[in-house]
């Protein structure tokens, strides 16, 4: 892996742990799992001995090295944290005591997250498709660069310093995005709550025909001429008709449920209370796309209220208060009904005022979207930064 420091076999610095425990049926035990790609050694769950298939398990201790025989080649490696002292694992997760007068656990913890170390695990894995497993003897025969302990400690300190800075930068980006979203929400509520605006019930704003639930059609996964919106099609007050799935329904039966440009929909059911009752505007329509039973179409009298304005006012914190008070949950799904929608008050200023509000909110939304794009780009850069740092560190360049 490196020509700067002497290479040693892993068998010289790792000793297989043989500590096991006989599980008692009425005692609870913490179980460990190891996430892929160096994401950590974490608690898998807590079960009684009676609920665990194997009656004898390996016992983990802090600062031991652990790997998954099946997924070591996918980066499922790490160091056992102190909070998982005494947790149990099956033999599919071998544990190794580290010879600490030669190898720092923290040094190994960072090294095992490098692409070169994971490649060593791939080289030590054998088997047919879906049965590839790490061969322990081959793994322990692999070599790693081993600088003096003092140099290991210096490297770990420097890596952790840089990792902290990366995490801080990521947190600041996330905070900025959340603040921008909160600002947009605040502006949305403030702009749509004009004191001069009349408050009308939704029932007073509907065109002929009234509210309409969508069509319930179960997708078979087979390609079809007609597609149906999925819940994720509604994001940030807009409907994306591309976010749909094929459904077995005749084009003639689909006509009453076709999505048309300018349509407004409210989600009547969702597993998240915050998403239940959210409204969205279809910016484009299609004869081939229908709306589902979990969507309620809200046909508006456009001489009274603009669809864009309705969506902004409906999704504001003012209206959300009414909706969340009315929402009911059964089996983990939050739902509202047509009656809840009809009886919800909406502030309705003049049409010119509505247009001005929509323009201002669109401008703010564009700024938030630009910030999100920047955050996404920066996040990708930050994600690539730590692997680059680790690569340099274990080449002796840090």
In this predicted model, what pLDDT tens digit does every residue of 269-285 receive, in sequence order?
A: 888 888 899 999 999 99
Please compute the mean of the pLDDT values over residues 204-233 and round it to a whole number.
90
Q: Which residue has the tokens 């769950």?
A: 45
Among the ranges given (22-26, 180-184, 255-259, 270-274), the one the predictor scored with the smallest mean pLDDT: 180-184
pLDDT mean across residues, the chain: 89
Among the ranges given (89-93, 175-179, 351-355), the one the predictor scored with the smallest mean pLDDT: 175-179
Same fold? 7-146, 198-348: yes
Which pLDDT value is given to residue 197?
Answer: 67
Tell me the Cα Rg of the chain. 29
SS (H, E, C) 286-304: EEEEECECCEEECCECCCC
**Percent of all residues in the chain with a pLDDT value above 70, rounded to a whole number:** 96
pTM for the full predicted model:
0.61
H or E element in which residue 31 lies: strand 28-34
H or E element in which residue 321 lies: helix 317-326
Residue-wise pLDDT tens digits, 154-185: 999 999 999 888 888 888 877 777 777 777 77
Q: Which residue has the tokens 């502030």?
A: 347
Please compute the mean of the pLDDT values over residues 235-264 and round it to a whole number.
93
Residue 3 pLDDT greater than 60, yes or no: no
Neighbouring-strand partners of residue 296: 213, 266
CATH superfamily label, 7-146: DNA methylase specificity domains (3.90.220.20)
State the burial class of residue 157 (Cβ atoms within 10 Å of its Cβ: 0-12, 13-18, 19+).
Answer: exposed
List the domain boundaries for the chain: 7-146, 148-196+349-398, 198-348
Give Cα separations from 364 to 39, 55, 356 (angstroms): 36, 60, 13
* 198-348 has CATH 3.90.220.20 classification: yes
Q: Is 369 helix (H, G, I), strand (E, B) or coil?
A: helix
**178 Cβ neighbours under 8 A, 6+ residues apart:** none
Residue 2 pLDDT greater than 70, yes or no: no
Residue that wins the pLDDT comparison between 111 and 385: 111
CB atoms within 10 A of CB 357: 23
Residue-wise pLDDT tens digits, 42-72: 999 999 999 998 889 999 999 999 999 999 9
Q: Residue 342 corresponds to which tokens in the numbers above?
A: 């009809």
Please compute the mean of the pLDDT values over residues 10-26 and round it to a whole number.
95
Sorting pLDDT into bands at 50, 70 and 90, what band is 209?
confident
**CA–CA separation, 343 and 269 (whole Å):** 17
Among the ranges given (127-136, 285-294, 346-355), the one the predictor scored with the smallest mean pLDDT: 127-136
Number of helices (H), then strands (E), in the chain: 9, 28
CB atoms within 10 A of CB 275: 15
**CA–CA separation, 201 and 25 (whole Å):** 60
Sorting pLDDT into bands at 50, 70 and 90, what band is 256?
very high
Please compute the mean of the pLDDT values over residues 112-125 and round it to a whole number.
92
**188 Cβ neighbours under 8 A, 6+ residues apart:** 312, 315, 316, 317, 361
Which pLDDT value is given to residue 195?
Answer: 58
Please compute the mean of the pLDDT values over residues 104-115 and round it to a whole number.
94
Residue-wise pLDDT tens digits, 120-157: 999 999 887 678 899 999 999 999 999 999 999 999 99
CB 336 within 8 A of CB 277: yes
Sheet architecture: strand order including 65-67: 14-16, 95-98, 65-67, 77-79
């Amino acid at each position: 892996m490196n020509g700067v420091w002497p290479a040693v076999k892993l068998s010289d610095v790792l000793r297989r742990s043989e500590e096991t425990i006989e599980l008692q049926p009425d005692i609870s035990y913490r179980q460990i799992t190891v996430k892929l790609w160096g994401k950590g050694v974490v608690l898998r769950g807590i079960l009684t001995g009676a609920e665990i298939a194997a009656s004898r398990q390996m016992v983990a201790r802090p600062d031991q090295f652990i790997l998954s025989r099946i997924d070591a080649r996918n980066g499922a490696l790490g160091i056992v944290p102190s909070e998982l002292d005494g947790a149990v694992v099956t033999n599919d997760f071998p544990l190794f005591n580290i010879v600490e007068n030669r190898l720092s656990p923290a040094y190994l913890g960072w090294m095992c997250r490098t692409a070169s170390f994971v490649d060593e695990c791939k080289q030590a894995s054998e088997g047919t498709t879906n049965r590839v497993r790490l061969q322990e003897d081959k793994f322990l025969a692999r070599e790693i660069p081993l600088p003096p302990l003092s140099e290991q400690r210096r490297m770990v300190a420097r890596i952790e310093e840089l990792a902290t800075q990366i995490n801080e930068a990521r947190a600041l980006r996330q905070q900025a995005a959340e603040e921008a979203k909160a600002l947009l929400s605040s502006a949305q509520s403030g702009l749509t709550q004009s004191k001069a605006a009349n408050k009308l019930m939704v029932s007073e704003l509907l065109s002929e025909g009234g509210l309409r639930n969508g069509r319930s059609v179960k997708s078979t996964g087979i390609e079809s001429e007609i597609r149906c919106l999925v819940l994720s099609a509604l994001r940030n007050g807009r409907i994306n008709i591309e976010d749909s799935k094929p459904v077995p329904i005749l084009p003639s039966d689909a006509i009453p449920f076709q999505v048309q440009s300018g349509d407004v929909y409210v989600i009547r059911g969702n597993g998240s209370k915050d998403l239940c009752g959210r409204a969205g505007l279809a910016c484009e329509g299609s004869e081939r796309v229908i709306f589902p039973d979990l969507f309620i179409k809200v046909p508006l009298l456009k001489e009274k209220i603009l669809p864009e304005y309705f969506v902004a006012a409906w999704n504001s914190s003012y209206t959300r208060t009414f909706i969340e008070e009315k929402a009911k949950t059964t089996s983990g799904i939050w739902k509202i009904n047509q009656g809840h929608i009809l009886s919800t008050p909406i502030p309705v200023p003049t049409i010119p005022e509505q247009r001005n509000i929509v323009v201002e909110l669109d401008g703010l939304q564009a700024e938030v979207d630009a910030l999100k794009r920047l955050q996404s780009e920066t996040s990708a850069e930050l994600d690539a930064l730590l692997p680059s740092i680790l690569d340099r560190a274990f080449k002796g360049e840090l």
